[in-house]
Structure 1
Amino acid sequence: MNQNQTLKNKVREAIRFEPFLEEVRIKVTVEEGVITLSGTVDSYVKKSIIEQVVNSVSGVHPVIEKIKVEYEFDVMKTDETLTSEILELLKLSPNLPESSINFSVINACVTLSGNVKNLAQKEEVERVISSILGVRIINNNIIILPES
């Protein structure tokens, strides 16, 4: 078995053995060591878990992620509604400096910017926003600026 096939099998097995991803069917292709993931999931949380699982597989380096989020039922929220929900959740998150976090919402795709003190805060912002039903994509461009 060649290296590409071995890597593909390792990635597929990692996804298959993640309990939260039981119902997920993701296509995995490997070409010259580059992994491409494609398919559809029903939540942003599942998409994030797939990314984490795949990146934890030994030998995985570059990953091209083409997974789409499509909810099982029709969750069409306006960008204004999503913006309000994001603002409310950020206010309720005591560990996040809401004044230094900026975002925009366009067609249910959230782009984050601003700065935080550490990686934990950056990941927490994304985790909080990924819990909102209706968010399809999160681009986390937040910069980590440790205190001097």
Structure 2
Amino acid sequence: MRTDTQIQNDVMAELSWDASVQAKQIGVGIKDGIVILNGEVDSLAEKLSAERAALRVKGVRSVVVELDVRLPGSNQKTDIEIARTVTQVLNWSAHRALHDLMVVVEKGWVTLSGHVTWNYQRRLASTLVRSLMGVRGVTDCIELKPLLSLADVKSQINSALKRHALLHNCVIDITAHEDEVVIKGQVHSLAEHSMVLHSVWSTPGVRTIVDQMDIV
């Protein structure tokens, strides 16, 4: 089992290796495999890159992000400018479902609302907005319109998990109740945990996930 010191050193090395992160501005703390990132970054995109870098390190169980987004003067934008840019970016997307989303901006924080059919469309909308200059954060209030019955959803999820070559040793139990999909079982790493969540979210009709998986 890896020690906290080993994990901390690897997280700092991973941050330094990632070209999208200014590692010198980020402090790394750790306790019992839980990594704490603190300091300042120049954009929301850099903040998310730092989080992903920490999650890539073996032995990390979770990441607490306490990074403040401090926009340089040249990156400061008014809420009106941000709202206009966000709307244009969504309207230019090839995914027509994003064209009808509602956008609210307050002090650089963007809230997205409306309906889409697939979870990847919801994630795409947030991803597009997070990379924009001047955006300090994104709140995703986008809802999914179910296409399938819960029984069909459960069947498709189980089939998707069985097809995944890297998950054949994982013991996963799927239950569907009302508008929730509950995932129970054991995985062996954060990477496997993410794969399971991705497979479930990729199933049409999934609106809410209750994650009760254990990493062992």
TM-score normalised according to structure 1 size: 0.82
Alignment of 1:1-148 (within 5 A): 3-22=3-22, 24-95=24-95, 97-98=97-98, 101-145=101-145, 147-148=147-148
Q: Aligned residues: percent identity?
A: 24
Q: 1:125 to 1:145 in 2, by over 3 A?
A: same
Q: 1:16 to 1:89 in 2, by over 3 A?
A: same
Q: 1:11 to 1:116 in 2, by over 3 A?
A: farther
* Bigger share in helix: 2
Per the TM alignment, residue 131 of structure 1 is displaced from its structure 2 partner at its CA by 2.8
Asked if structure 2 preserves the Cα contact closer than 8 Å seen for 1:96 and 1:125, the reply is no
SS in 1 for 2:105: strand
Q: 1:114 to 1:57 in 2, by over 3 A?
A: farther
How many pairs were matched up? 147
Q: 1:3 to 1:145 in 2, by over 3 A?
A: farther
Question: AA paired with 1:27?
Answer: G
Per the TM alignment, residue 74 of structure 1 is displaced from its structure 2 partner at its CA by 4.2
TM-score normalised according to structure 2 size: 0.59
Per the TM alignment, residue 140 of structure 1 is displaced from its structure 2 partner at its CA by 3.0
TM superposition outliers: structure 1 runs of 4+ over 6 Å? none
Q: 1:7 to 1:23 in 2, by over 3 A?
A: closer
Q: Distance in 1 between matches of 2:60 and 2:119?
A: 22
Q: Distance in 1 between matches of 2:133 and 2:85?
A: 10
Higher mean Cα deviation, 38-47 or 16-25? Answer: 16-25
Q: Distance in 2 between matches of 1:111 and 1:12?
A: 32
Asked if structure 2 preserves the Cα contact closer than 8 Å seen for 1:116 and 1:146, the reply is no
For structure 1, list consecutive stretches of 5 or more residues without a partner in the other structure: none
Higher relative CO (CA 8 A, sep ≥ 6), structure 1 or 2? 1
Per the TM alignment, residue 24 of structure 1 is displaced from its structure 2 partner at its CA by 4.7
Q: 1:22 to 1:66 in 2, by over 3 A?
A: closer
Per the TM alignment, residue 132 of structure 1 is displaced from its structure 2 partner at its CA by 1.9
SS in 2 for 1:77: coil
SS in 1 for 2:134: coil
Higher mean Cα deviation, 138-147 or 106-115? Answer: 138-147
For structure 2, list consecutive stretches of 5 or more residues without a partner in the other structure: 149-216
Asked if structure 1 preserves the Cα contact closer than 8 Å seen for 2:26 and 2:37, the reply is yes
Asked if structure 2 preserves the Cα contact closer than 8 Å seen for 1:40 and 1:69, the reply is yes
